[in-house]
Amino acid sequence: MRVLYYAPDDSAQHWVPELQAALQAAGLPAQVQAWERGMPTADFCVVWKPPQAMLDEQHSAKAYFVTGAGVDSLLTLRFPPRLPVIRLDDAGMAVQMAEYVTQAVVRYFRGLDSAEATMRAGQWQLPPVRSRADFAVGVLGLGVLGARVAQALATFEFPVLGWSRSPKQVGGVRTFHGIAQLPAFLQQVQCVVCLLPLTPETDGLLNAERLAHMPRGSYLINVARGAHVVDADLLAALDSGQLAGATLDVFRTEPLPPEHAFWGHPRLTLTPHTSARTLRSESIAQIVHKMQAVLHGQAVVGVVDPNKGY
């Protein structure tokens, strides 16, 4: 069996030998190589942000495995019809996302953002005490990561609302679905967490109109993709006080360009796309398991629906 790996960084030095060893241990001896132009057709490709040239050449693979949860960078390429794209399904990301989002929500709820600022300014000033019942958190996207985040927030006794494309039931979460229910959802939450996939339908979803539906002085946490947010509308909402603060882990252009207005904004907390990292050993174990299933003609979770875009 032949497997090709591609990522636009130097991670092949780890992924190639570790994937090869894991396949061998699973009884699937394979030659795993970093992709280069002109290589013979592989059985499987394991990729992050592959170039169009790889898809053009490696169009007869049995499947493309993506080493992340989001597949937006792949679906903008010209893709051979019927070639399955299989994304990571949790693989250790859900607990990381629950940790990250919970700390960001708790920081706003407890006023730790303003306490940090006043202490830095040399002032001893207690932040106001808020009522938990009045601090509802709304999670956009109730998939693998969003549902886990919503449940983690519910254990801290925040009222939790969730929004998805199709109707969903998640324990402890009041659920909404579809674009028609989005305004009612936004009007009831003091903090919005974005965990949607980036698709033509969700691109720019968090614009001036949607931010205006949120109660004045509420918060935004974007851990999905930068393009969900219209940057200028977010800045205007922060500057007018419509939003009291935002935590952004993802950006339209990454790394965030040095001249971008987000840098240094007093109401923004920025992190470098680190809320849920791909964990190599968990991910390799999941990919090997799914390769075995594909080879045996069995169904696997995480197969991307090209019509939905996630």
Active site residues: 225, 273
Q: Quick check: bond before 255 cis, omega within 30?
A: yes
DSSP class of 134:
G
Q: Which is nearer to ligand GLV, 70 or 302 (CB)?
A: 70
If one asks whether residue 197 binds ligand GLV (CB under 6 A), the answer comes out as: no
Q: What residues does 229 pair with on adjacent strands? A: 206
Stretch touching ligand NAP by CB under 6 A, among 30-38, 116-124, 160-168, 256-264: 160-168
Helices 112-120, 93-109: axis angle to 10 degrees equals 60
Q: Token pair 């840098």 is at which residue?
A: 263
If one asks whether residue 68 binds ligand GLV (CB under 6 A), the answer comes out as: yes
Q: Pick one of 164, 190, 247, 283: the residue that binds ligand NAP (CB under 6 A).
A: 164
Q: Which does 12 bind (CB under 5 to 8 A by kind): ligand GLV, ligand NAP, none?
A: none
Q: Pick one of 55, 58, 70, 218: the residue that binds ligand GLV (CB under 6 A).
A: 70
Q: Which does 310 bind (CB under 5 to 8 A by kind): ligand NAP, ligand GLV, none?
A: ligand NAP
Q: Is the dihedral of CA 37, 41, 42, 45 positive or negative?
A: positive
Spell out, one character per residue from 270 to 299, where the chain touches ligand NAP: x when CB under 6 A holds, - when not: ---x-xx-----------------------
Cβ of residue 69: shortest distance to ligand GLV, in angstroms? 4
Q: Which is nearer to ligand GLV, 68 or 162 (CB)?
A: 68
Q: Pick one of 32, 101, 104, 142: the residue that binds ligand NAP (CB under 6 A).
A: 142
Helices 280-295, 12-25: axis angle to 10 degrees equals 50
Q: Pick one of 50, 138, 143, 245: the residue that binds ligand NAP (CB under 6 A).
A: 143
Please choose, from the candidates 84, 22, 95, 44, the residue with its C-alpha nearest in 3D space to the C-alpha of residue 283.
Answer: 22
Token pair belonging to 39 = 């290589």
Residue 142: CB atoms within 10 A of its CB come to 26
Q: Evaluate whether 127 touches 110 at the Cβ level (below 8 Å).
A: yes
DSSP H or E stretch at residue 247 = strand 243-248
Interface residues toward ligand NAP, by CB under 6 A: 69-70, 93, 141-146, 163-166, 168, 195-199, 201-202, 223-225, 249-250, 273, 275-276, 310
